[in-house]
Amino acid sequence: MYRAESRSGSGVKARTRTAFSRRAALVLAVFVIGCAIYYQRTALLTAAGDFLVQVDPLEPAQIIVVLAGDGSGNRMMTAVELVRRGLAPTILVDGPPGHYGHYESELAIEYAVRKGAPREIFEAFPMEVSSTTEEAEAVCAEMSRRGFRKVIIVTSNFHTGRAGRIFREAAAEDIDYIVASAPTPYFKPDSWWKTRPGKKIFLMESLKTINSWIE
């Protein structure tokens, strides 16, 4: 009887030691991974920011399309610079309604003209849309109607990855979209986590990217 109890007690102790060893190993593994993430956090966060920014080598196209959603004017002025460089002769400016009774495209063109851009290079393309997907469908249909085969789309740097993928999925096979990036004061891939606006932009664009994958 004593020997049986002794063996039983030894078995419990062995299992206890094994469970403790497993917990200790798990804690150690979590600690090591946590340290690795902490010391590599800048590289990891930069990689996350870089994932949102996906641009193409620029080449001449038949038209430049400025996507809606930028109140700073950076997308417009980037497109103007591309025209000045001879990459395309015309800028199509799309935009939904709702800005003090005006379409965004109208206000964007007026802004660029006040900045010195010639009015004749712009063409307004007002539309009733509420997402990048709907915007891409409208623009792609218009490009097909006009028979264009190569189009530059200009959008903010953080929006380039998602916009490029959505436009290519919506486009006819014979239309080549080239994605150009406009600078964004509040989002820099290598330091977005250092400012509140940068963190908000990253979070919102990441959620929109995931939602577009689900759709």
Q: Evaluate if residue 35 carries a pLDDT over 60.
A: no
Q: Which residue has the tokens 């990048």?
A: 132
Tell me what pLDDT residue 10 has. Answer: 58
Distance CA 166, CA 11 (A): 61
Report the chain's terminal Cα–Cα distance, integer Å.
68
Report the SS3 class of residue 85.
coil
What percent of the chain has a predicted confidence (pLDDT) above 90?
Answer: 63
Q: What is the pLDDT of residue 39?
A: 46
Q: How many helices (H) and strands (E) does the chain have?
A: 7, 5
Cα–Cα distance list, 48 to 55, 142, 195, 206 (Å): 15, 34, 15, 9
pLDDT of residue 18: 61
DSSP 139-161: HHHHHHHHT--EEEEEEEGGGHH
CA–CA gap between residue 92 and residue 125 (Å, rounded): 6
State the average pLDDT over residues 71-75. 92
Q: Is the pLDDT of residue 178 over 50?
A: yes
The C-alpha atoms of residue 207 and residue 190 are separated, in whole angstroms, by 19
pLDDT at 8 over 80: no
Q: For position 31, what pLDDT does the model report?
A: 47
Lowest mean pLDDT segment, chosen from 15-19, 26-30, 34-38: 34-38
For the entire predicted model, the pTM comes to 0.79
Query: Tell me, what's the pLDDT at 41?
Result: 67
Is pLDDT above 80 for 73? yes
Mean pLDDT value of segment 65-75: 93
pLDDT value of residue 44: 85
